[in-house]
Amino acid sequence: MKTLDLISDLRKNNLLREIDIELDVNLEIPHVAYLEIKKANPKVLLFNKPVDRSAGKKYNMPVLMNIFNSFEITEKFFGKRVESVAEEIEKLIKLKPPVSFFGKLELFKDLFKLKNVFPNRLSKNISDTHDRFNGDLLDLPILKTWSGDGGKFITMGQTYSHSPNGSVSNVGMYRLQVFDGKTLGMHWQIHKDTTIFFNEYKKLNEKMPVSIGIGGDPLYTWVATAPLPHGINEMLLYGFIKEQNAKLINSNSNFVPIDLDIVIEGFVDPNKSRIEGPFGDHTGYYTLEEEYPILEVSNIWIKKNSPVYYATVVGKPPLEDKYMGWATERVFLPLLKTTAPDLIDYAMPENGVFHNLIIGKMRVRYVGHPQQFMHTFWGVGQMSFVKNAIFVGENAPELRDYPAITRHILNRLTYKKLMISSGSLDALDHSSPDALLGGKLGIDATGDEVKLPKLEILTDELLLKKVSGIAKDKNLSIKIWDLKQYFRDSQNPITVISIDKNNKSLNKKMSEFSALKDFARIIIFVDHVGNSVHNPYMLLWRVANNFDSNRDLFMNRDFYVIDGTNKIKEIDELNRDWPGDVYCDRNVLMKLASDGVIDFDLSLIEKFQLTEIINNETKGK
């Protein structure tokens, strides 16, 4: 789907909101998109008059955002039900030689479809289809999303690259920091195909040719995020889904889709790098400064007819990655089943930030089978970066019915069925003491309900007094603020307590709360500042981000204390800095509201913690 056709279709179906007043690429445009995507029925946004007031620039190119804003619109880009793609993949995986004539005809039909998988490399160069851009990176409407960002970042770029001998091609989606008009920072993580290529070029001491694509068919962007095995070109997946060949042209010795709106060409010198970041990332935290390779831009090309700049905003959930991640879940389920045949389904809740939490449904064949599954998942591709994995049996509720599945898990949780290990973590994870390596928690919630000793369930107010009394009697130097109990009628009720640590570590104090084991089963501590114990959606986001099972879990048989607070480098066994939350700038929001661009919806802002929480509780003891 070409960009202008996409915009026309969105406009016709009342899925597009066009904003015709001048808005700044610095904070204003991304803040509008950030609020919009969190609404019940968000629109795709087209900003027709982007400007950069600080640089005195007015851009001729509009900015399109929130393209993946719902399950329905994501399937529109697929051109079919996402589930049907998974069904087609599963059918191919299970292909068997046919025995009847009609079976052979059916097989031929299925195989004939595969002719559309392979990209069609046209005998054209980028200069045949695009115009050379009369400007540099600073003349494109690239956004600065957050106040703490290190600069402007391309957030929806498709990075095309290939191995030195040209035998393997790849397209990935990475953030790209604009250092100046001719230089981009390349945030390539260690497990990405482009990093493998880069290391090969480095051995040869050769510059690596790279092309950055922006725009065109939105499915190009989705396949760029797809966790395909190394060596498989993502354009094959595009052709499989669309049932038509991707039409590619030559750009800087890479092959890119012909209908891209913008193509940035350049070379990565393996001997050059630069500090990149900070950047407010999809974890909802800033990823801190780190050294990465740089792209030295040689050319920028734009399509001849009305180019559009695509961008996305990442930060606290829910955002576009909710819907992109859902499509990835569905499409790759059959491939996961080839490694774990007894897997029925899996879900990665967006407020678990995907790599922080996975829930899997499985058929249990024998004792220890769920534990084997944990090891399997932690050894498969990008699943190896998942921190916390929970497995339930085939009779469990639907995995995305989160209240029901949570109750199901809590009624089967026992310390005997926990597994704590260590392993690889996503480069964006900040919770572990050391980068890239940290705790893994596996929970076997299969089987029948457990019957644990009955608790004496107190009101929140009475339990709060007991917690405060322990903190005072034990001289723990922490201030207890608020408390909320969840699933009190389950075998393992959850008690969330907000505290002020007073710049002290909680780690050595968690065992002191064992005195509560007759009244509570799972206690989770969070910081008073920045959290509300009455907001379970954002509490899961916070704790999943901050929790490392090797450091932040105290167990006394079936009594658990979890430290979900922000950690302090000097006192919390942390060998690196702890990042801050991403927050909208209140002044920017107020200006946008006064200009009539947004509604200053306080309930939405509080629900998703879009600005810093100003806590007013007076319960602190």
The answer to whether the beta carbons of residues 421 and 390 sit under 8 Å apart is no
pLDDT of 508 reads: 87
CA dist., res. 271 & res. 594, Å (int): 49
Structural domain including 479 reads 460-563
- Asked whether residue 279 is assigned to any structural domain, the reply reads yes
- Which SS3 state, helix, strand or coil, does residue 299 take? strand
CATH number at 148 reads 2.30.110.10
Residue 439: its pLDDT value, please? 95
pLDDT tens figures, 46-104 = 999 999 999 999 999 999 999 999 999 999 999 999 999 988 888 776 655 555 554 54
Q: Structural domain tally of the chain?
A: 3
| Whether residues 189 and 55 fall in one domain | yes
Same domain, yes or no, for 418 and 521? Answer: no
Final residue before a domain boundary, out of 527, 548, 563 = 563
**What does the pLDDT read at residue 94?**
65
Q: How distant, in Å, are the alpha carbons of 169, 197, 234, 425 from that of 231?
A: 7, 11, 9, 22
CA angle 130–195–182, rounded 5-degree value: 45
pLDDT for residue 615: 53
Which of 328, 248, 319, 380 has its CA nearest to residue 35?
319
Residues 417 and 364 sit within 8 Å (Cβ to Cβ): no
CATH number for position 432: 3.40.1670.10
Residues 474 and 436 in one domain: no
How many helices (DSSP H) and strands (DSSP E) are in the chain?
16, 31
The predicted pLDDT at position 498 comes to 97
Q: What is the pLDDT of residue 459?
A: 97
Whether 138 and 252 share a structural domain? yes
Residue 325: inside a domain: no
d(CA 165, CA 457): 67
Asked whether residue 440 falls in the same domain as residue 469, the answer is no
467 in the same domain as 438: no
φ, ψ of residue 82 in degrees (nearest 5)? -60, -40
Within a domain: 22 = yes
Same domain (yes/no): 248, 177: yes
Question: Is residue 351 located within the same domain as residue 486?
Answer: no
Percent of the chain with pLDDT over 90: 80
Residue 96 falls within a domain, yes or no?
A: yes
The stretches in the chain having pLDDT less than 50 are 102, 104-105, 107-108, 112, 616-619
The pLDDT score that the predictor gives to residue 537 is 97
Say yes or no: 438 and 481 in one domain. no
Look at residue 113 in the predicted model and tell me its pLDDT: 60
Question: Based on the domain organization, do 305 and 226 belong to the same domain?
Answer: yes
Q: What is the mean pLDDT of the chain?
A: 92
Could you read off the pLDDT of 279-295 as tens digits, one per residue? Answer: 999 999 999 899 999 99
578: in domain: no
Is residue 597 domain-resident? no
Q: To which residue do tokens 């049996």 refer?
A: 393
DSSP code string of 383-451: GGG-SEEEEEETTSPPTT-HHHHHHHHHTT--GGGEEEEEEE--TT---SSBTTEEEEEEEEE-SSPP-
For residue 618, what pLDDT is reported?
A: 41
